[in-house]
């Protein structure tokens, strides 16, 4: 019987069938990621990464940057595009992290270089998602509580699987690519709320492409990188509880993407805040509340969620993305938690600072069977100055969750809102093309046919 690494490599190297429901989920991932990529194009970290890439003076012009006229080497385009897609923390969520913000930029950039079709891109994404989910399923302890950002550490390997599939590498070369990517993977939760967090996604996508290129050129790596006692899974499991002996024999037979799907964010905030935001907005609207009407807000969330939401008195819009206090304050003061509120100016306004001081956070040690890093439910209780207490009750899913999805109209509205101001794009044409991704003959034409200049 083959080992874990070998069975994963065999899956990556083989054919991948994409049922229509899986294709629909993947198309949504591409569409939403490209929306958040375009929306994040002007963030400071993206500008820095673009200058970093330009300083290399690479002559390669293999893939488009941010769907504009600029081109770069595939790995560099993936670095910039994935950083932009994650810069606003507005990208989708599943399998313990943000799968599409790594998989989509890697597949698009390398697929463009190779002249791959839209159908090829769908299959490669699915392969990457399933490998990511397989590895996640083997660790019972939350990565976030150990300090690891799954988007970075699992995403690097998942994206390498996707790119290796695009290249149609042999099982042996796939095995080397996965092991190379495993040695390149890194990303710390301590960097949440800084420019480095979106760079986690950028580096994961770029390293995935580099790992595949190196493997294709003959670089060797451990043939048992996942099951070895000093390998990838063991290193990420300080308690030694990872399941490393069972081969991944079910890969491709029972698609996890059909069970877990993708959760599309309604708010540009850490997803750990979303159920609480929904509750506060609902209560504020139902009772026509103003921030000054509320004396105290008690929010109950999961332990890992609380660990991610480290900024209790944020001073900048970037820090505020990882602050439950800010999320509640914005919902009360503005009745919105959107891009317009995630600014340094709004975070510093007196009513917002005052409302943040009213928030009390408690944790509950339960686990969602679909997204184990979250509690089974969250809860909010607003204590009003007139003595009333308004209780949200148990909140199971946030709006936009795969189990409570946004409507097609809401998805399109988010896309067009994110793409607003990108005058170099025909936003409507791009949206339509992405929704027919499987019919696109070449990824090279995907952006070119929707450019306005």
Q: What are phi and psi of 188, to 5 degrees?
A: -110, 140
Lowest mean pLDDT among 28-37, 60-69, 151-160: 60-69
Residue where a domain stops, chosen among 228, 260, 292: 260
- Which pLDDT score is estimated for 372? 85
Average pLDDT over residues 188-193: 96
Distance CA 443, CA 115 (A): 6
Whether residues 385 and 243 fall in one domain? no
Residues with Cβ within 8 Å of 254's Cβ and at least 6 positions away in sequence, in order, are: none
What total number of domains does the chain contain? 2
Domain that holds residue 291: 271-391
The model carries a pTM of 0.94
Whether residues 297 and 211 fall in one domain? no
Lowest mean pLDDT among 55-59, 235-239, 243-247: 55-59
pLDDT in tens, 107-120: 999 999 999 999 99
Q: Does a structural domain hold residue 403?
A: no
Q: Does a structural domain hold residue 437?
A: no
- Which of 366, 449, 442, 438 has the alpha carbon at shortest distance from 126? 438
pLDDT in tens, 87-101: 999 999 999 999 999
Average pLDDT over residues 224-253: 95
Q: How far is CA 287 from CA 10, 280, 390, in A?
A: 57, 11, 9
Residues with Cβ within 8 Å of 306's Cβ and at least 6 positions away in sequence, in order, are: 272, 324, 361, 363
Q: Which residue's entry shows tokens 């791959």?
A: 116
- Which pLDDT score is estimated for 448? 65
Residue 1, pLDDT > 50, answer: no
- Which of 138, 176, 182, 143 has the alpha carbon at shortest distance from 159? 182
Q: Does a structural domain hold residue 265?
A: no
- Which pLDDT score is estimated for 450? 58
Whether residues 243 and 348 fall in one domain? no
What is 66-104 written as a DSSP string? TTSS-EE-HHHHHHHHHHHHHHTS-S-BBTTB-HHHHHH
Whether residues 37 and 104 fall in one domain? yes
- Which pLDDT score is estimated for 303? 95
- Which of 100, 102, 56, 53 has the alpha carbon at shortest distance from 77? 53
Residue 223, pLDDT > 50, answer: yes
pLDDT in tens, 319-373: 999 999 999 999 999 999 999 999 999 999 999 999 999 999 999 999 998 888 8
Q: Does a structural domain hold residue 183?
A: yes
- At 16, list the tokens: 């991948």
- Which pLDDT score is estimated for 373? 87
Whether residues 251 and 341 fall in one domain? no
Whether residues 227 and 275 fall in one domain? no
pLDDT band for position 59 (50/70/90)?
Answer: confident
Q: Does a structural domain hold residue 235?
A: yes
Whether residues 226 and 360 fall in one domain? no
Q: Does a structural domain hold residue 327?
A: yes
Lowest mean pLDDT among 58-62, 76-80, 150-154, 398-402: 58-62
Query: Which comes out higher in pLDDT, residue 9 or 451?
Result: 9
Residue 449, pLDDT > 80, answer: no
CATH classification of the domain holding 10: 1.10.4100.10
Residue where a domain stops, chosen among 365, 391, 417: 391
- Which of 167, 185, 172 has the alpha carbon at shortest distance from 223? 172
Whether residues 132 and 249 fall in one domain? yes
Q: Are the CB atoms for 84 and 43 separated by under 8 Å? A: yes
Whether residues 311 and 249 fall in one domain? no
Residue 453, pLDDT > 70, answer: no
Whether residues 243 and 160 fall in one domain? yes
Q: Does a structural domain hold residue 298?
A: yes
Q: Are the CB atoms for 96 and 134 separated by under 8 Å? A: no
pLDDT in tens, 303-334: 999 999 999 999 999 999 999 999 999 999 99
pLDDT band for position 17 (50/70/90)?
Answer: confident
- Which pLDDT score is estimated for 15? 80
- At 77, list the tokens: 């385009």
- Considering the chain, what percentage of its residues have pLDDT values greater than 70? 98
Distance CA 386, CA 292 (A): 11
């Amino acid at each position: 019987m083959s080992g874990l690494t070998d069975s994963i490599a065999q899956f990556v190297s083989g054919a991948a069938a994409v049922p229509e429901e899986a294709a629909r989920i993947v198309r949504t991932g591409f569409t939403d990621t490209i929306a958040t990529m375009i929306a994040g194009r002007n963030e400071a970290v993206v500008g820095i990464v673009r200058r970093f890439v330009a300083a290399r003076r690479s002559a390669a012009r293999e893939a488009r940057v941010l769907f504009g006229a600029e081109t770069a080497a595939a790995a560099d385009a993936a670095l910039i595009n994935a950083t932009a897609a994650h810069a606003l923390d507005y990208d989708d969520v599943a399998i313990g992290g943000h799968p599409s913000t790594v998989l989509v930029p890697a597949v698009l950039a390398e697929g463009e270089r190779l002249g791959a079709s839209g159908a090829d891109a769908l299959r490669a994404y699915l392969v990457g998602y399933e490998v990511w989910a397989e590895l996640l399923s083997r660790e019972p302890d939350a990565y976030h509580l150990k300090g690891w950002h799954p988007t970075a550490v699992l995403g690097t390997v998942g994206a390498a699987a996707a790119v290796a599939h695009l290249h149609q590498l042999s099982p042996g070369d796939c095995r080397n690519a996965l092991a190379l990517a495993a040695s390149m993977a890194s990303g710390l939760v301590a960097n949440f709320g800084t420019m480095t967090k979106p760079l986690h996604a950028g580096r994961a996508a770029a390293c995935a492409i580099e790992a595949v290129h190196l493997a294709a050129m003959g670089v060797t790596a451990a043939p048992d990188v996942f099951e070895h006692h000093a390998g990838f899974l063991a290193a990420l499991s300080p308690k030694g509880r990872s399941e490393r002996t069972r081969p991944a024999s079910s890969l491709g037979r029972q698609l996890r993407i059909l069970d877990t799907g993708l959760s599309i964010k309604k708010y540009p905030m850490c997803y750990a805040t979303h159920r609480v935001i929904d509750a506060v907005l609902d209560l504020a609207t139902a009772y026509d509340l103003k921030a000054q009407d509320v004396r105290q807000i008690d929010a109950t969330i999961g332990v890992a969620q609380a660990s991610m939401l480290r900024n209790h008195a944020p001073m900048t819009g970037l820090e505020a993305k990882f602050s439950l206090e800010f999320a509640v304050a914005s919902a009360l003061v503005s009745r919105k938690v959107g891009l317009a509120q995630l600014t340094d100016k709004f975070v510093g306004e007196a009513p917002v600072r005052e409302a943040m001081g009213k928030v009390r956070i408690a944790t509950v040690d339960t686990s969602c069977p679909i997204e184990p890093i979250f509690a089974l439910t969250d809860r909010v209780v607003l204590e009003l100055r007139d003595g009333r207490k308004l209780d949200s009750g148990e909140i199971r899913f946030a709006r936009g969750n795969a189990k409570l999805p946004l409507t097609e109209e809401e998805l399109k509205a988010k896309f067009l809102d994110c793409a607003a101001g990108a005058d170099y794009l025909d936003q409507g044409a791009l949206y339509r093309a992405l929704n027919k991704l499987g019919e696109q003959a070449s990824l090279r034409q995907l952006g070119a046919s929707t450019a306005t200049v």
